[in-house]
Amino acid sequence: MKKSFKQWIGVGTTFVMAATVIAGCGNTSNQTGQSTTAPSAAATANAKPFAGKTISLVTANHPWAEAIKPLLPDFEKETGIKVNVESFFEDQLTQKLTVQFTSGSATPDVFMYRPLQEGKLFYKNGWVQPLDDFAQKAKDYDFNDFSKSAIGSTTVDAKLAGIPIITEQEILYYRKDLLQKAGIAVPKTLDELTAAVKKLHDPKNEMYGFVARGQRSPLVTQVSSFLYSEGADFTTGDKASINTPEALKAFTTYGTLLKDYAPPGVLNMSWPQAFGIFAQGKVAFLTDANSLYQNATDPAKSKVSDQVGFAVFPGGKAGSKPYSITSWGLAMNAKSANKDATWAFIQWATSKDVVLKTQQKGNPGARASVWDKPEGTTGFPAELVPIIKESSKTGVDHDRPTVISVGEARDAVGEIVQKVMTGETNLQPVADKANQALQTIMDKDKTR
């Protein structure tokens, strides 16, 4: 028989049963010899482990939040916990959390956050409660069901700083009709991609071979998959490594594709502009996050919605190594006065049953078992599902340098790629300078 949430909910590092089993029946005697009556079966069955407790939840204005809100009455009914919810735009959310945590506030108890953007800062400042003991010891939670890369994104200094709720991977978008007409197979390597881009590039007829993010900071997340697939990374141990031969090859490939085969104005493009021109039917290939697929496939937004194909990120010298990250997670305030109740909410919100429900609304979760269920994939195009599953298995758990000063680090990396895009041929001095800037940022982190 399927257990209700209140029957197995974990409290801290121990567990309570909502319905306590009481030996015997009828009248019993207490230590003073007075007669007592055992609670009835109905009374114990209706017990709520956290009756009267209230926790505060702060979310981003995000589809996951909209999917979870209608489910909250079920959680409140089963546990007795009242959940007060506030939602903010992304920038407002970060600002609100920073202000409250800096002041030592015990609220919010639980909050959405971006692990690769704020995770290290929040953890280093002591603002988030490590969840290792909660997650590993929670009965029936099956922590090992979460993808390794998703957990990697929410781990700081070998401690679990949050639980993944939204994942994404970089994939290749392409025009099925153009490839079919030209007799081109879907590229499986970066060399094949470059060759296909060259063949389909026809700017005189407003057809461009490739588009991706070209703005200095936004491009960093998308060039990361090129970096990993060439066997490089932003850092190696405690050393910056964006000036290695492998890194330069990756930056050159990405920058050259944008310089020679992208639409005009690509230097100023982030994802909305890149998807926008792809959706207008003017580009053959696009690399970006799978979570943004509706910008290419929604007939209301895209003139080529029925011709969009999806593929695993093309491989380089090290094979196909796309980023596979947690873009949003749930974390617990280290100063929360209701940690057991807060964990009860996190455990419920990231349980298999609830992840199934939120994923059916198009929110890509981190649980392998949900992706393996046909009903868990109904919120996504059938052709995209195997691409997501494969990318999750081979992907890397970060899409930017994992430092506290993320903005500065992204600017340093993005500068290298933009130099390629503007025609710089002597890239090594540029990369050396950027590498030193990144190293300085990393060294500063050690003193915080």
Give domain limits for the chain: 54-161+325-394, 169-323+401-446
Residue identified by tokens 């589809």 is: 63
Burial class of residue 3 (count of CB atoms within 10 Å of its CB; 0-12, 13-18, 19+): exposed
Query: For residue 92, what pLDDT is reported?
Result: 95
Q: Is residue 7 helix, strand or coil?
A: helix
Query: Other CB atoms closer than 10 Å to residue 421's CB: what's the count?
Result: 21
Query: For residue 5, what pLDDT is reported?
Result: 55
pLDDT digits (tens, 9 = 90+) for 5-14: 554 454 443 3
Query: For residue 350, what pLDDT is reported?
Result: 98
The residue among 167, 166, 169, 145 whose CA lies nearest residue 65 is: 166
Q: Rounded distance, CA 401 to CA 240, Å?
A: 9
Residue 37 has pLDDT above 50, yes or no: no
Query: For residue 38, what pLDDT is reported?
Result: 43
Burial class of residue 280 (count of CB atoms within 10 Å of its CB; 0-12, 13-18, 19+): middle
pLDDT level of residue 40 (50, 70, 90 thresholds) = very low
Query: For residue 160, what pLDDT is reported?
Result: 98
Q: Rounded distance, CA 130 to CA 158, Å?
A: 10
Query: For residue 46, what pLDDT is reported?
Result: 52
Residue 368 has pLDDT above 60, yes or no: yes
Q: Rounded distance, CA 39 to CA 270, Å?
A: 62
Query: For residue 20, what pLDDT is reported?
Result: 32
Between 43-52, 150-159, 216-225, the lowest mean confidence (pLDDT) is in: 43-52
pLDDT digits (tens, 9 = 90+) for 80-117: 999 999 999 998 999 999 999 999 999 999 999 999 99
The residue among 119, 143, 140, 75 whose CA lies nearest residue 367 is: 143
Average pLDDT over residues 329-348: 98
Query: For residue 47, what pLDDT is reported?
Result: 65
Topology agreement, domain 54-161+325-394 and domain 169-323+401-446: yes
Percent of the chain at pLDDT > 70 equals 90
Q: Rounded distance, CA 227 to CA 253, Å?
A: 10
Average pLDDT over residues 285-305: 97
Q: Which residue has the higher pLDDT, 107 or 46?
A: 107
Residue 39 has pLDDT above 90, yes or no: no
Query: For residue 208, what pLDDT is reported?
Result: 98
Between 2-6, 30-34, 65-69, 229-233, the lowest mean confidence (pLDDT) is in: 30-34
Q: What is the mean pLDDT of the chain?
A: 91
Average pLDDT over residues 360-385: 97
CATH number of 54-161+325-394: 3.40.190.10
DSSP label of 263 = P
Q: Does residue 150 contact residue 397 with C-beta atoms inside 8 Å?
A: yes
Average pLDDT over residues 222-237: 98
Residue 311 contacts by C-beta under 8 Å, 6 or more apart in sequence? 171, 172, 174, 186, 187, 188, 387
CATH architecture assignment, domain 169-323+401-446: 3-Layer(aba) Sandwich (3.40)
In 234-393, the DSSP E strands lie at 235-236, 239-240, 283-289, 308-312, 324-332
CA distances 448 to 115, 332, 403, Å, are 18, 21, 11
Average pLDDT over residues 404-414: 97
Q: Rounded distance, CA 55 to CA 41, Å?
A: 29
pLDDT level of residue 410 (50, 70, 90 thresholds) = very high
